[in-house]
Amino acid sequence: MDAQPTLLNQMIAAGHLVPTGVDGLYGRSGVFEDVIARFEALVTEVGKDDGAEVLRFPPAITRTLLQTSGYMKSFPQLAGTVHSFCGGDGDHAALLAKIDAGEDWTKDQCCTDVALTPAACYPLYPMLAAQGTLPDEGRLFDVQSYCFRHEPSADPARMQLFRMREYVRAGTPDQVQAFRAQWLERAKELIAKLGLPFDVVPANDPFFGRAGKMMKLSQREQGLKLEMVIPVANAQPTACLSFNYHQDHFASTWGVRLADGSLAHTGCVGFGLERLALALFKHHGLDVQGWPSGVRGLLWG
């Protein structure tokens, strides 16, 4: 008996994902993109009365930002830096000779000032700090970006380049916790209406190494990260949304302060857009025309 085709193979066969030869790096069909656009429009509709400041950054941050944020301390295995050729004519000839000979040419590349964005909210914190003390009501942002994480995998829900839509709140602890609680309820309602089975579970970020074990434990114990998990391509359900309470982690790193001079707190809710699109295809079928009318109505109304 033939093995069941994997969701990745089904998505490729249907033309929704285009393989590139590298795990986790795919082209997307117009239909796949439309599902993401419609889903994002729903999210925007849910949050429309909150007055979020909309910002879009390119999928890159400065290398300084990557360093200062502590990303290399916590997640060096996931980080991506951009390298380029920085030599002269002689170096160029040597580069081409190495490529012709099938030798490794990458060691001669120099690291640029640019790194790939690991999470959509990262560019916000230094900007917030530079813009001065927060107003009494705090601030709220709507960001979206392609993000890079070096975690090649045959699981279509674990991509190396994927989009994250986020709402990010900065303010007092109460303001940030209320924001997170509100989005948790909104997300449950939205995902249920889209006909997707889900659970909300305590989670942790993939902190690196032995020191990271403690960080994982403490993040879980304090309930700082919750994930909404949905069955996608594995036996284990996949985290499709994250609800993160950073306390003053980013504010102390960058110097984001409240009017009284104390450190602000921040939190973010992140929608993994490719994962949510994959979940919709998994549960409702590869042909969007055949999706339940309620789901179609909600997305394409």
Name the site residues for Zn ion (rule: CB under 5 A).
119, 121, 166, 268
Q: What is the DSSP string of 218-267?
A: HHHHTT-EEEEEE--SSSS-EEEEEEEEEETHHHHHHT-B-TTSSBPEEE
What part of residues 113-132 is at the interface with ligand AMP (CB under 6 A)? 119
Which residues, 6 or more positions from 99, have their beta carbon under 8 angstroms from its beta carbon?
105
Considering the complex, state which of residue 142 and residue 227 has its C-beta at the smaller distance from ligand AMP: 227
Closest by Cα among 279, 263, 272 to 244? 272
Q: How far is the CB of 262 from ligand AMP (least distance, A)?
A: 26
Considering the complex, state which of residue 126 and residue 267 has its C-beta at the smaller distance from ligand AMP: 267
Q: How far is the CB of 174 from ligand AMP (least distance, A)?
A: 23
3-state secondary structure 72-118: HHHCCCCCCEEEECCCCHHHHHHHHHHHHCCCCCHHHCEEEEEEECC
Considering the complex, state which of residue 241 and residue 251 has its C-beta at the smaller distance from ligand AMP: 241
Taking CA atoms, 290 is separated from 36, 190, 298, in Å, by 17, 20, 14
- One of 28, 149, 165, 284 touching ligand AMP (CB under 6 A): 149
- One of 158, 169, 265, 282 touching ligand AMP (CB under 6 A): 158
Give which of ligand AMP, Zn ion, none residue 23 binds (C-beta under 5 to 8 Å, depending on kind): none
191 binds ligand AMP (CB under 6 A): no
Cα separation, 292 vs 30, in Å, equals 20
Give which of Zn ion, ligand AMP, none residue 274 binds (C-beta under 5 to 8 Å, depending on kind): ligand AMP
Cβ atoms of residues 43 and 271 within 8 Å: yes
Taking CA atoms, 126 is separated from 70, 76, 176, 293, in Å, by 13, 20, 18, 44
Considering the complex, state which of residue 98 and residue 150 has its C-beta at the smaller distance from ligand AMP: 150
What part of residues 210-239 is at the interface with ligand AMP (CB under 6 A)? 227, 239
Angle between helices 173-193 and 30-46 (to 10 degrees): 130
Considering the complex, state which of residue 219 and residue 258 has its C-beta at the smaller distance from ligand AMP: 219
Q: How far is the CB of 268 from Zn ion (least distance, A)?
A: 3
Give which of ligand AMP, Zn ion, none residue 121 binds (C-beta under 5 to 8 Å, depending on kind): Zn ion
Q: What is the largest CA-CA distance in the chain?
A: 69
Angle between helices 173-193 and 293-300 (to 10 degrees): 130
How many of the chain's residues bind ligand AMP (CB under 6 A)? 17
- One of 123, 237, 267, 272 touching ligand AMP (CB under 6 A): 272
Interface residue list for ligand AMP (CB under 6 A): 119, 149, 151, 157-159, 162, 164, 227, 239-242, 270, 272, 274-275
